[in-house]
Structure 1
Amino acid sequence: MPIEMPKGLPFSVDTWTPSSNTKKHHFLTHAHKDHSQGISTHSSFPIYATSITKNLTLNYYPHLNHSLFVDIEIGHSIAIDDPFQPFTVTAFDANHCPGAVMFLFEGPFGNILHTGDCRLTPECLQRLPEKYLGKISREPKCRLDYVFLDCTFGSFSSKMPSKHVAIRQVIDCIWNHPDARVVYLTCDLLGQEEILVSVCQTFGSKIFIDKENNPDCFQSLSLTVPDIISQDPSSRFHLFDAFPRLSERAEAKLAEARASFQPEPLIIRPSTQWYVFEDVSSEAKKRKIDRFKEARKDEYGIWHVCYSMHSSREELEWALQLLAPRWVVSTTPECRAMELSYVKRHCSYRNLSLDDPLWKLLDIDLQAPFVNENTHEEISCGTSPLLISQMKSSPERFTKKEILTVSSQVKESSVTLFGRARLGLDNSTFIYEETVKPAVSYLDEYVEAQLSNDMCTNRDALEGQQDESKSNEPKEKVVQHTTACSPKGVGENMRKLYRSMHIFVPKPLPSLVDMLNDRKRAKRRLLS
């Protein structure tokens, strides 16, 4: 599911929510439905997309107003005259599906590459401006400030074959089964048209598609590759739905052929999912290197080929080495970019200065009182937004020494940039709730927040005090926040802050050394 863009940007990409609708400009990278979910309620502002993406989207949502779209084709740039932040956007091929593009935004907010869904091959990257491309041993002339990156297979370390190699494996699998009178191709996903075109050209036969049972796929192929479609069910090649219950339907097809003493049909599924989620036994591990070289048959009789429209971890690492962006944001499941070694090495909050444009992008205004004028030390990004707010509203209550002491006690966050802001940055600043939360749920969230930031809180101590104070807890607005604590305890100013917000002062956990020593002493006493 795509993520919301930061509040400081005047545009949204692939999101159609109340939060993104407040943006003035909207961009659609491609026509897969998970990226256009909610667009049916969208009725204002321009939507920038390629003509293929526009036509496919209008086919899925026929009631959408055609005039909402502004065409931007691959390789073309558009200067957008926004009254507050004028910027330029350029579309580049994303190597994903027909009409899919990456958007390069250049403006006062910096240089931002949003990949959408992509497969970053050398050919794909070479189409980007040369100034943004470096070499393994040399940074680019102009660094991208932010890359919003498709990390769908960011944790998949195996080297996947190229699309061309995968298509060749599909063709070879068909050649190796000449007796199969019917070949079922599970290529009903937008982006797998290249496989169907290659099969059609190689064997001189069109692909039968059941228009009644698969109208969406029929319409998509009619718009992208209409010459390969057939309505004749006697054709050797049939399009086969990958979902739902593919294995059950495949077994049924094979059983039907055996019952009628006919040659078994050939069922081929070009996909990466089976390889990512397959159960790898010890025997399979031995064959791990060879498992991508040819089609493999599973226990249900389905032949699998690793065909991917997304980059593997190896390809993502290689691309980031060339692009060398300042920050990387995962557009797929939360924090998946943190699995990339490039992000671990280079995307660190400690590199940020107080005047870094990042804060403006996040719509956070940090002022001079938070900087040590003598040493130019900075507050850690792990510091609580609530604490920052208190410091900003009442700076006289805190000395700079205290501020820096608090910030130095917070370990560097392990969350990538905008990691806490994936839903429109609603959590980038503290939030007031209109109703009082139950003490149990509030304390659980509080403890989890503390632990997630590597802070020293004692959950048992907090829960032990819960029952005693539940009846005395004031019925007023609750503030969600995360605050740092010292391993040796909490200072007086911090205690006042906790108490002012009607929250228990956290108690530090005993050190591991002390616990081990206590255990040793207890054993000695037992032995003596």
Structure 2
Amino acid sequence: MPIEMPKGLPFSVDTWTPSSSNNKKHHFLTHAHKDHSQGISTHASFPIYATSITKTLTLNYYPNLDESLFVEIEVGQSVVVDDPMDGFTVTAFDANHCPGAVMFLFEGTFGNILHTGDCRLTPECLQRLPEKYLGKISREPKCRLDYVFLDCTFGTFSSKLPSKHVAIRQVIDCIWNHPDARVVYLTCDLLGQEEILVSVCKTFGSKIFIDKENSPECFQSLSLTVPDIISQDPSSRFQLFDAFPRLSERAEAKLAEARANFQPEPLIIRPSSQWYVYEDVSSEAKKRKIDRFKEARRDQFGIWHVCYSMHSSRDELEWALQLLAPRWVVSTTPECRAMELGYVRRHCSYGNLTPDDPLWKLLDIDLEAPFADESIQDEVSCTTSPFLISQLESSQEVVCTEKEVTTVCSQVQESSVTLFGRARLGLDNSTLIYEKLVKPEISYVDEDAKVKFNDDTCTNRDVSEGQRESNSKDVTEGVVRRDAVSSPNGVGEYIRKLYRSMHVPAPKPLPSLVDLLNERKRAKRKLLS
């Protein structure tokens, strides 16, 4: 998920915006998934560091992109980046995500920073990192990472995900259990699922048919990564099946067509974690919940699901953070995800930083700025992304009076309602929507450092949309400046200048979390009826 890096860093990672292009001298691309390269054809500038596979795939997706912009860096390789202001060293490590995907370790005067990109953190992945950064459960590492930019895609999902190897074995077993299926459709059109196709090809001695006309990008990607498994024979038993759009409708049509022709039903397998993570399974029996990862499961549309994940589960993230023991964690996925991790709640707070800590400079936070309440500096414990703080966007949960704010940062259990789709497209994923601005009042609520407001001063008629957004961002930063509340209507010159400098519209209202949950329940009841 693209996010802007803190102002104190001379580089950007997976971010292709006017801001990153103008303010950062060095650019890094972790892998070739399009949600991490969005905008690269418009805002790319030299140099872009990436692996050779990532470079090739990206140039394949964006043929107008200049190849000379790239500087290749391979897994295990360290590169010294010369910079007149702040030189540093960067090392690439395997991210266990998709072909060419890497984590970047940055070491310089700004500190030691690990950016995971998208990753599936396993013991093998972490063991490849320098030993000095790895601790044990009962002992901190010799050298602590200052920053970890972490893939928290499934940070709210508490169940233990099967390993890639186990998931591939389940795909193979599902095929063995359906010997009468003349055609096997595999929805493995995503970069990173090549291992499944290779295993199927080796196990059954048959290549995979890929429709070049209907799936040109997937065909090109597989031609570059695993060309030996591709078949152009449409009569092949194994065929690639697009996962999107309307997979369930197309699957039902395939099954109905086979029944109409009195033929055996085709086998349709979808190896993905999405069905397990985002489907509502709250009504299942406890034993069924536990067993649903042990073998392929068929849904009401006739699709067989296998939990194949290229992202870490919550347990894997917690385990990795215990070993790395970083001083600060930043989620590269929707803001609220980092707060779901116990390590972040326990260890990542401003209260742990001394006034002379270099992390303040890295975050570009001025400690000498005046506070409305001097006790705030000691009382507010921020467990959110410091990047978001530096950009005046908060990932804290907000507590307001009725109908003032809608948030999706609440603690989610199993069936979470998220802004996953919006975030992956790099759209505005602000989780705070204000219906009216109120006089800010910061108070400590609990360990999550929730922010309170009261509404006894300002109304919608008092403040414009732009001012509302700016004032809210200034408040959620955890710091209320004196000049922010100096004017009669609660909006100071500082806020007006801040908003004008951002040149962004106020966030559009989102439906409440309760409405989203009710809609989901109604949709489920409709399907069951």
**TM-score normalised to structure 1 length:** 0.79
* Cα displacement string for residues 296-333 of structure 1 (whole angstroms, at most 9, x for unaligned residues): 00110000000000000010011111111111110001
- Partner SS, residue 228 of structure 2: helix
Match of 1:415 in 2: 384
Is the 2:440–2:453 contact (alpha carbons within 8 Å) kept by the matching residues of 1?
A: no
- Partner SS, residue 80 of structure 2: strand
Structure 1 CA distance for aligned equivalents of residues 194 and 451 of structure 2: 51
Determine whether 1:104 maps to 2:99.
Answer: no
Determine whether 1:458 maps to 2:427.
Answer: no
Using the TM superposition, give the Cα deviation of residue 498 of structure 1 relative to its aligned residue in structure 2, in angstroms: 3.2
Using the TM superposition, give the Cα deviation of residue 278 of structure 1 relative to its aligned residue in structure 2, in angstroms: 1.8
Change (3 A) 1:403 1:266: closer
Change (3 A) 1:140 1:504: closer
- Partner SS, residue 263 of structure 2: coil
Match of 1:84 in 2: 85
Structure 2 CA distance for aligned equivalents of residues 51 and 73 of structure 1: 7
| Alignment counterpart, residue 444 of structure 1, candidates 431, 436, 458 | 436
1:66-145 matched pairs, under 5 angstroms:
66-145=67-146
Match of 1:20 in 2: 20
Structure 1 CA distance for aligned equivalents of residues 118 and 477 of structure 2: 37
Structure 2 stretches of 5 or more lacking a match?
395-432, 493-529
1:276-287 matched pairs, under 5 angstroms:
276-287=277-288
- Partner SS, residue 293 of structure 1: coil
- Higher radius of gyration, 1 or 2: 1
Structure 2 CA distance for aligned equivalents of residues 442 and 245 of structure 1: 34
Is the 1:31–1:57 contact (alpha carbons within 8 Å) kept by the matching residues of 2?
A: yes
Using the TM superposition, give the Cα deviation of residue 362 of structure 1 relative to its aligned residue in structure 2, in angstroms: 1.8
Is the 1:335–1:419 contact (alpha carbons within 8 Å) kept by the matching residues of 2?
A: no
Is the 1:145–1:325 contact (alpha carbons within 8 Å) kept by the matching residues of 2?
A: yes
Using the TM superposition, give the Cα deviation of residue 354 of structure 1 relative to its aligned residue in structure 2, in angstroms: 1.4
Match of 1:379 in 2: none
After superposing the two structures, state which structure 1 stretch, 118-127 or 273-282, moved more.
273-282
Is the 2:439–2:458 contact (alpha carbons within 8 Å) kept by the matching residues of 1?
A: no
Is the 1:406–1:484 contact (alpha carbons within 8 Å) kept by the matching residues of 2?
A: no
Structure 1 CA distance for aligned equivalents of residues 208 and 440 of structure 2: 54
Match of 2:261 in 1: 260
Query: Please, what is the CA RMSD of the aligned residues?
Result: 2.9
Change (3 A) 1:325 1:56: same
Structure 1 stretches of 5 or more lacking a match?
368-387, 392-401, 429-440, 506-528
Amino acid at match of 1:14: D
Match of 2:490 in 1: 503
Is the 2:157–2:277 contact (alpha carbons within 8 Å) kept by the matching residues of 1?
A: yes
Match of 1:169 in 2: 170
Amino acid at match of 1:13: V
Change (3 A) 1:177 1:12: same
Change (3 A) 1:284 1:209: farther
Using the TM superposition, give the Cα deviation of residue 121 of structure 1 relative to its aligned residue in structure 2, in angstroms: 0.4
Amino acid at match of 2:244: F
* Cα displacement string for residues 209-260 of structure 1 (whole angstroms, at most 9, x for unaligned residues): 0000000000000000000000000110000000000000000000000000
Amino acid at match of 1:317: E
Structure 1 CA distance for aligned equivalents of residues 491 and 362 of structure 2: 34
Is the 1:270–1:304 contact (alpha carbons within 8 Å) kept by the matching residues of 2?
A: yes
Is the 1:11–1:23 contact (alpha carbons within 8 Å) kept by the matching residues of 2?
A: yes
Percent identity between the aligned chains? 77
Change (3 A) 1:366 1:268: same
1:92-491 matched pairs, under 5 angstroms:
92-367=93-368, 388=369, 390=370, 404-405=374-375, 407-408=377-378, 410-421=379-390, 425=391, 444-446=436-438, 454=450, 457-459=453-455, 461-463=456-458, 481-482=474-475
Structure 1 CA distance for aligned equivalents of residues 476 and 217 of structure 2: 51
- Partner SS, residue 322 of structure 2: helix
Using the TM superposition, give the Cα deviation of residue 125 of structure 1 relative to its aligned residue in structure 2, in angstroms: 0.7
Structure 2 CA distance for aligned equivalents of residues 222 and 338 of structure 1: 41
Match of 1:4 in 2: 4
Structure 2 CA distance for aligned equivalents of residues 105 and 252 of structure 1: 50
Is the 2:484–2:491 contact (alpha carbons within 8 Å) kept by the matching residues of 1?
A: no
Structure 2 CA distance for aligned equivalents of residues 177 and 484 of structure 1: 56
- Partner SS, residue 288 of structure 1: helix
* Cα displacement string for residues 439-474 of structure 1 (whole angstroms, at most 9, x for unaligned residues): xx9982455886897556431x2247x76x789xxx
Is the 1:87–1:108 contact (alpha carbons within 8 Å) kept by the matching residues of 2?
A: yes
Is the 1:443–1:463 contact (alpha carbons within 8 Å) kept by the matching residues of 2?
A: no
* Cα displacement string for residues 57-86 of structure 1 (whole angstroms, at most 9, x for unaligned residues): 000001111100000000000000111111
Using the TM superposition, give the Cα deviation of residue 420 of structure 1 relative to its aligned residue in structure 2, in angstroms: 2.9
Is the 1:170–1:268 contact (alpha carbons within 8 Å) kept by the matching residues of 2?
A: yes
Is the 1:462–1:504 contact (alpha carbons within 8 Å) kept by the matching residues of 2?
A: no
Amino acid at match of 2:309: S
Structure 2 CA distance for aligned equivalents of residues 167 and 484 of structure 1: 45
Change (3 A) 1:308 1:449: farther
After superposing the two structures, state which structure 1 stretch, 42-51 or 181-190, moved more.
42-51
Change (3 A) 1:25 1:449: farther
Structure 2 CA distance for aligned equivalents of residues 70 and 127 of structure 1: 23
Is the 2:438–2:453 contact (alpha carbons within 8 Å) kept by the matching residues of 1?
A: no
